[in-house]
Amino acid sequence: MGKNKNDIDYLSEVVNLIDEATLPKIDFDELKARLSTVCNRLTAQDELAVEYALLRDDCERRIAGMTKAIAAVDRKQDRMQEALSLVDELPALDSAQLLQTYRRVAARFRDSFPGSFGYYNRRERGSRSPSVRGE
């Protein structure tokens, strides 16, 4: 962020110098170098924005799917309405809130569908004591 701040400050200064009286004060070699750097950063930021949008869309879809599945097995009418409300709110969440929501919904999903994740087998294996196996 520091590099961007320096470039922003420099370019703001150049913008203020662009008039006929102060035009000769501009170092065009430095301006060209800074503009090239800023163009490269903007290109990289655009690529990151596309990647971010893909990941965010995937996360939102996963949350929506898990939330609807939880509501479907709960069989309470108000749960489906809550699920739809949560799905509608997802685009307004920032990244931290979205990840927090994902973790919370994923935990509820695992609780709602424990057999899908092999929890029964783990519990059975872990609950047997050595004396039970020998008998």
Q: What secondary structure does DSSP assign to 92-107, as a single string?
A: GS-HHHHHHHHHHHHH
Query: What is the pTM (predicted TM-score) of this model?
Result: 0.66
Span 43-69, pLDDT tens digits? 999 999 999 999 999 999 999 999 999
Span 97-121, pLDDT tens digits? 999 999 999 999 998 888 766 655 5
Write down the residue that tokens 């294996």 correspond to: 125
Nearest CA to 30 among 7, 60, 1?
A: 7
pLDDT of residue 47: 95
Percent of the chain at pLDDT > 90 equals: 41
Instruction: State the DSSP code for 90.
Output: G
Count Cβ atoms below 10 Å from residue 88 Cβ, excluding itself: 10
